Amino acid sequence: MKNNADDDEFYEQQVAIFDRLVEQIEAQLNKFGVDSLEHSDYSIYEDYWGYPQVKVSMLTLKMLRPPVIEQLQRVVKMYPGWEIVVAVVIDGHRDWPEMGLYVRSNEIIDGLQRQYFPEEFQDIRYPGARPGGQND
């Protein structure tokens, strides 16, 4: 029978995984962009909310390029059951609808609405991705 101590222990384990995952995501994103006081290409939301997820906001479109997402998937593959929620939050385009990706160990849920993107980003494709929405 589960008790509060079990719940606390499970919670602590999840928080520990979350922290490790955040660290590894940061290390990967840092290879492709910056998050500094002067300029940010991405922003990681570093709070664990009880679900096996880490949320990343991409603030520039270059962070949606396949090699970046591929690295994120490589990271999350080490943590089965976890996912990286990628939200698209581009400066100057706040009129765009909410869109993004769910990057999981076995799949990528693609909710990008490429019709809003400049031409050079409209042909972005992720191997093994399937279209989906926020509830997938």
Site residues, other proteins (CB under 8 A): 11-12, 15, 35-37, 43-51, 53, 55, 57, 59, 85-89, 94, 98-100, 111, 134
Closest distance to other proteins from the beta carbon of 59 (Å) = 7
CB nearer to other proteins: give 76 or 99.
99
| 57: nearest Cα among 24, 27, 91, 80 | 91
CB nearer to other proteins: give 59 or 72.
59
- Find the largest Cα–Cα distance for the chain: 57
Closest distance to other proteins from the beta carbon of 102 (Å) = 9
